[in-house]
Structure 1
Amino acid sequence: MLTLVIGGAASGKSAFAESLCLCAPLPRTYLATMQVWDAECAARVAKHRAMRAEKQFDTVECPLHLARLTLPRCGTVLLEDLGNLAANELYDPDGAGENAAAAILRGIENIAQQCENLILVSNEVFSGGADYAGDTDRYLRTLAAVNNAAAARADAVVRVVCGIPVYYKGSER
């Protein structure tokens, strides 16, 4: 089963996605996409790893190239998040660049074939206006393409607003 969870910043989407995982079969894998740039990022990653370990998650770091990843175990996978992954693939010199959306979608398929349940977390895009400075529009269009394709492929699509899940496709488990 593939579930897409979207929402704005601090909407509660990550907590909701984790709650879905806690109801799903073990083993649980947390697929982390954040790149570690400095000591502050490293400390954040360590804190989150410890919190997830208490919930029986094995954490796998994968900031680029999901299509190349082989998971250590099947079961339930939480991919957090597509926004980071899109930025990484677009802007990292080793990323997919202009082919970022296609690369991410191939990666999602790769992961989906290796697990029973895949829960994707992504940011809501284009709800905050239309004029963006610099390269922001390219990033948002890439993430929108990924979100739209993932939603079409998903069994369930949930938008979280103020911690409240609203199902747009599929139903509550």
Structure 2
Amino acid sequence: MVTLVLGGSGSGKSAIAESMLEEIKDVEVKYYLATMQVYDEDAQRKVNRHRELRRGKGFRTIEQPRDILQALDQMDPSRLGESAVLLECMSNLAANEMFGKDVRPADEVVRNIVQGIRILRNRVRHLIIVSNNVFEDGVRYDPATTAYMDALGKINCVLASESDEVTEVVAGIPVILKKERGKK
């Protein structure tokens, strides 16, 4: 089962996604794929805050800011099909992939991330993906940022169409946008 959790910055989407992961009972292992790249003190504070919020929840954290499929190497292969994964967050992953050592073309980033997510979802029992809504401020950005936003939008659209459930978090309130019948 794949669940996409969308929301704006500070909307509470991470907390909702973590609650969803905690509620899953039919798995042996719960992984938390953290994608934030630490570039400065502010980013380190955010990572530390998220680590503290996860403490004691039984998640196995894997720090994987890019090349998401490499996280599979850090998971127990004998229990992979009996695992749940929370990917936090697609927005960071897309930015890290696009603006690494060199700026990569948006279409390449979209293709690689979508392919990686498809492989990951076929290997685990549950996959929860957190992503940002980045199109709601009406501000015009520079071409590189606009290309990133377009790439993230395309990724979100593919993920939403291929997910069993899509939830948007608004001011801490989860609003179910899509739920496939017969899915739990």
Query: Paired residue for 2:11?
Result: 11
Aligned length, in residue pairs: 173
Question: Equivalents in 2 of 1:38, 1:144: separation in Å?
Answer: 26
Contact 1:63 1:88 in 2 (8 A): yes
Contact 1:69 1:111 in 2 (8 A): no
Q: Aligned to 1:54, what secondary structure does the other structure show?
A: coil
Structure 1 unmatched runs, 5+: none
Contact 2:131 2:156 in 1 (8 A): yes
What are the residue-to-residue correspondences of 1:115-134 with 2, within 5 Å? 115-129=124-138, 131-134=140-143
Contact 2:33 2:71 in 1 (8 A): no
Question: Equivalents in 2 of 1:82, 1:60: separation in Å?
Answer: 15
Residue type at the aligned position of 2:163: A
Question: Equivalents in 1 of 2:23, 2:110: separation in Å?
Answer: 30
Question: Equivalents in 2 of 1:95, 1:76: separation in Å?
Answer: 32
Contact 1:5 1:157 in 2 (8 A): yes
Q: Aligned to 1:129, what secondary structure does the other structure show?
A: coil
Quickly say closer, same or farther: Cα 1:40–1:165, change in 2 above 3 A.
Answer: closer
Query: Paired residue for 2:151?
Result: 142
Question: Equivalents in 2 of 1:61, 1:96: separation in Å?
Answer: 22
64, 67, 70: which one aligns with 2:66: 64
Residue type at the aligned position of 1:128: D
Quickly say closer, same or farther: Cα 1:18–1:95, change in 2 above 3 A.
Answer: farther
Question: How far did residue 115 of structure 1 move?
Answer: 1.2
34, 37, 40: which one aligns with 2:39: 37
Provide TM-score, normalisation by structure 1: 0.89
Aligned-CA RMSD value: 2.1
Question: How far did residue 168 of structure 1 move?
Answer: 1.1
Contact 1:66 1:106 in 2 (8 A): no
Provide TM-score, normalisation by structure 2: 0.84
Q: Aligned to 1:83, what secondary structure does the other structure show?
A: helix
- Which stretch shows the higher mean deviation, 31-40 or 84-93? 31-40
